[in-house]
Structures are given as structure tokens and as C-alpha cells.
Structure 1
Amino acid sequence: MQKYDNGMTERLTYGNFSHLIPAFEWKIVTLQKFTNIRLMQTSEKKCYELPESLAKNLGIQLISVEEGYVKATMPVDERTSRPCEPVDILNGGASLALAETVAGYGSIPLCEPGQMPCGIQISANHVHMVPIGTYVEAVGKLVHRGRTSHVWNVDITTPEGKLVSTARIVNLIVKKRL
């Protein structure tokens, strides 16, 4: 465990966070020195609670964050759907927000202290509609880890494994401005 000047303690290490979280207790896991991006987890929930953000407002839950791999879920509900007859369906923009969230949280622990990822490009294909009342799963895999950029592929699927969207995200690694 490392202690920083601003009072924050743990810098995320690669791998699953579960070994950091005592059973049935909340614990804040700070992703990086001098950041307010934290994940909270309980062994009951088996996911990480995001800070107030677009991702949290869309109901996105991070299930796993490991080196080069991130898994998350998002409900298809009134926050993430668009009108379509006869039933509302998943909005493509919500899928893009999910994909960029997955790639961003995947890049954060790969950055050096004093750096952060900024999404600079996203390209996606939507191949299947998902009706309201269910959820989607996203799995992000690191394709390239360079000094100044990270490239991620994110596949979004139904719970049954049917491909909904596939996206490629490029994160530029920049210096934090304090």
C-alpha cells in the first residue's frame, strides 16, 4: 500500500480488486495518485460502484477490471432506450457510452502516476436490437498499449451472448493538469 500527499492510499494494481475488499465492507479503491476516480465494491454486490458520472446515471456497473480486460453491464431501460414500435430498444449512443466507459476504466490502471486517458476516437457497428427490460454485457480487451495511446476493442452482447455492438476506442495518454 502506498500513501500519497493528498491522503489517498492505494494505487490500483493489476488484476481483480476482490483481494482488496473485505467481506461485506465498503472500501474505496483509488485508481491513481491525485485522482477522484474511485471504485467501491462489496462482496455482496460483486461489482464496483462508480462515482457520480454519465456512466453511473446510465446504470453501468463494472464487474471486472484486470490488466488489459474489463467487463461491465448496463440495463436497457428508460435511461438507455429510444422509442421504436412496437417496443423501445437500446439507444446506440448508450452503447457508445458503455464502450467508452469500459475502455477508459481499462486504461486508467495502465497509466503512470500523473497521467490519465482521454478518449479521442470511437468507431462502432450496431448489429442487433435489444428490447427494453433486459441488459447488455460489455467486454473490453486491450489491443495496443503504447506510451502515448491505448487501443481497445469492446464487444457488447446480450446475456445469451448475441453480439449487439462492437466498438474500437483509442485513448490518448496525457499529463494531468493539477
Structure 2
Amino acid sequence: MHNTLMEALQMKVKEQAKSLVAIEMPITGTVKQPMGFLHGGATVALAETAASIGGMEHVDTSSQAIVGIEINCNHLKAKKDGVITAKATPLHIGKRTMVWNIQVEDEEGDLIAISRCTLGVINK
């Protein structure tokens, strides 16, 4: 994932399968807002990345690509340091769209955010 947002935000895939994708991201200065807390946008980027990688498990990547259509996120707990993990599971896998549920947890297993992402399947 060289020269991608994943690299810039130090995201690391921990598990990748059709039914679950888990990606970790450390809370560094790069992903904090000016008040020193984890930036909500970084959390959303992590959530969409997990869903998108999961979506790629369901398509022929030689001829199809995954694109984000919509994402929502409820931020439930503030964090200043540590590591968060997005765990994405599919709710709907269709020919042209997918819907993924993403739970973002910290290293203690506390729920930091919940998200739902709709993906589009396009031809390359």
C-alpha cells in the first residue's frame, strides 16, 4: 500500500477475509485534531479503508474496483493515544453495491466509533 493514505496514517491490515477485515491505526500526531484528540476524519478514513478492503475480497480485482458511495460514523469515545482497530463485516453483498458495518475499538476493546459504509462496484 505504498504511497497511499494507509501508509500515511500507518494503517496495518491484521485480518483480511470475505467476512471480516480488521485494520489497526496508531494514534499519532498525524491523526490528531488541534485539541490533541483523535480526529474524527481519521477514524472515518480507517473505517472506509476496512470496508473497501473487505469489498475487494468479493470482486475480480483484475476487472473491477471498489469505490465509496456513502459513509456515516458516530464517534462514541475520545482518544488521545494508543491504537484503534476497525473491524468491518458485510451486511449486504450485491453485484453493484455493498453495505458494510464497521466497529472501531481501542486496545482495551472499548467502542470508539460505529460506522456504516456503502460501496460501489465499478468496472476498471
Runs of 4+ aligned residues of structure 1 deviating over 3 Å after TM superposition are none
Q: Distance in 2 between matches of 1:70 and 1:171?
A: 15
Indicate yes or no: 2:92 matched with 1:141.
no
Equivalent residue for 1:119, pick from 68, 90, 114: 68
Q: 3-state SS of the aligned residue for 1:93?
A: helix
Q: Distance in 1 between matches of 2:66 and 2:48?
A: 11
Shift of 1:82: 1.2
Counterpart residue number, 1:52: 3
Q: Distance in 2 between matches of 1:131 and 1:148?
A: 38
Q: What's the TM-score, normalizing by structure 2?
A: 0.95
The correspondence of residues 70-89 of structure 1 with structure 2, limited to 5 A, is 70-84=21-35, 88-89=36-37
Highest RCO, 1 vs 2 (Cα 8 Å, sep ≥ 6) = 2
Q: What's the TM-score, normalizing by structure 1?
A: 0.67
Q: Distance in 2 between matches of 1:115 and 1:72?
A: 22
Shift of 1:147: 0.7
The correspondence of residues 24-63 of structure 1 with structure 2, limited to 5 A, is 50-63=1-14
Shift of 1:67: 1.1
Larger radius of gyration: 1
The correspondence of residues 12-27 of structure 1 with structure 2, limited to 5 A, is none
**% same residue:** 28
Indicate yes or no: 2:44 matched with 1:64.
no
